[in-house]
Amino acid sequence: MSTGRLTIDLDAVVANWRALDDMTGCKTAAVVKADGYGLGAANVAKALFKAGVRQFFVAVAEEAIAIREELGAKPDISVFSGHMKGDTDLIRDLRLTPMLNSVEQLTHHFETLPGHPFGIQLDTGMNRLGMEAQEWAAVAELALSQNPTLVMSHLACADEPDHPMNPHQLENFRQMTDGIHVTRSLAATGGILLGPDYHFDLTRPGIGLYGGLPFEKAAATVELDLPVIQIRDLAEGEVVGYGNSWQAERPSRVATVSGGYADGIFRILSDKATLYHGDQPCKVIGRVSMDLLTVDVTDLTEAPTKLTLIGRQQTVDDLAGQAQTIGYEVLTQLGGRYNRKTFGK
């Protein structure tokens, strides 16, 4: 097989959810947006539902289709982007709960789907989504009279525990919501780790479920092995790849490996990334191309049939560091060509 093999461990996803849930005294939902952070939203949601999750969050309404098809009407599915024009039929038919982000969305929702469940998203300082304090003050009485299921906000700097923005947003959220009789939510993964003051009634872990920082104790959820297509011997001075960007300084063995930027292996990893044969590191040499990598395997004692990019030797966040990005991006860019093996719940 000439495609990479992506192994997804749903038991690890469930274990991570349980570990985060155990840190709180409130309900714990699960964020499964971006196709379950690249792992497959339907399978992830099914495993978490069996573990007890009853509320899921997606970014946009269309992402809920696969989850409803898998789990039916039982779980609540909330939509971070709220009620966008054109989403009305989908929100109604799939029984979704939009997190209304503006006065305009609130008005649109009440006009098009009167009596349909909704939540409210407030902006406590991130300036991304949600109603600001003055907007909320103007519509709070009306909105609360219609019994929203949830009032939430989102932390901008929760992955930096000592950042002053965290207590600032916490105080803003309290000022905007103290005294209301509605379920409140402020914390995603990073917020859970900040402690009980940030937990309120519901937490919404995302990246922590999938093995990424800032949840340092998370179990790894994916492994990625790439097959070796060809191995060739090079003399000193020969070059490799586009632009002749690597030149052998000694007699070398070079493996051509299936995988490239079309599979989510970023071009910035050219001449930087490390793959592994067991515990032995092998450097990527030359440019990452659309479908192929070239890897220096000179020091191996045997010809490899595959090399590992993500696994026990190198985590998603290790790879992200080499690419000057974050684990979220690595996971969500995993390509559609991989042969996926999912096991667990």
Can you tell me the distance from the alpha carbon of 239 to that of 226, in angstroms, rounded to the nearest whole number?
Answer: 23
Helix (H) or strand (E) holding 55: strand 55-58
Set 37, 85, 198, 242: catalytic member: 242
Can you tell me the distance from the alpha carbon of 210 to that of 208, in angstroms, rounded to the nearest whole number?
Answer: 5
Can you tell me the distance from the alpha carbon of 82 to that of 22, in angstroms, rounded to the nearest whole number?
Answer: 29
Set 33, 198, 276, 328: catalytic member: 33
Residue 312 burial (CB < 10 Å; 0-12/13-18/19+)? exposed
From residue 341, how far is each of 69, 79, 139, 283 by CA, in Å?
21, 28, 48, 26
For residue 227, is the peptide bond before it cis, meaning its omega torsion is within 30 degrees of 0? no
3-state helix, strand, coil in the chain (%, to 5): 35, 25, 40
Find how far residue 55's CA is from the centre of its chain. Answer: 17
Is 217 a residue of the active site? no
Can you tell me the distance from the alpha carbon of 39 to that of 122, in angstroms, rounded to the nearest whole number?
Answer: 29
Structure tokens at 87: 């989403």
CA 296-297-298 angle, to 5 degrees, is 95
Is 198 a residue of the active site? no
User: Tokens 């039929």 appear where?
Assistant: 89
- The one-letter code for the residue type at 307 is L
Helices marked H in 113-178 — which ranges?
133-145, 165-177
- Single out the residue of 185, 191, 188, 129 nearest to residue 160, CA to CA: 191
Can you tell me the distance from the alpha carbon of 256 to that of 295, in angstroms, rounded to the nearest whole number?
Answer: 6
Structure tokens at 166: 């965290």
Q: How many CA atoms lie within 13 A of 99 on its CB side?
A: 25
Catalytic residues, which ones? 33, 242
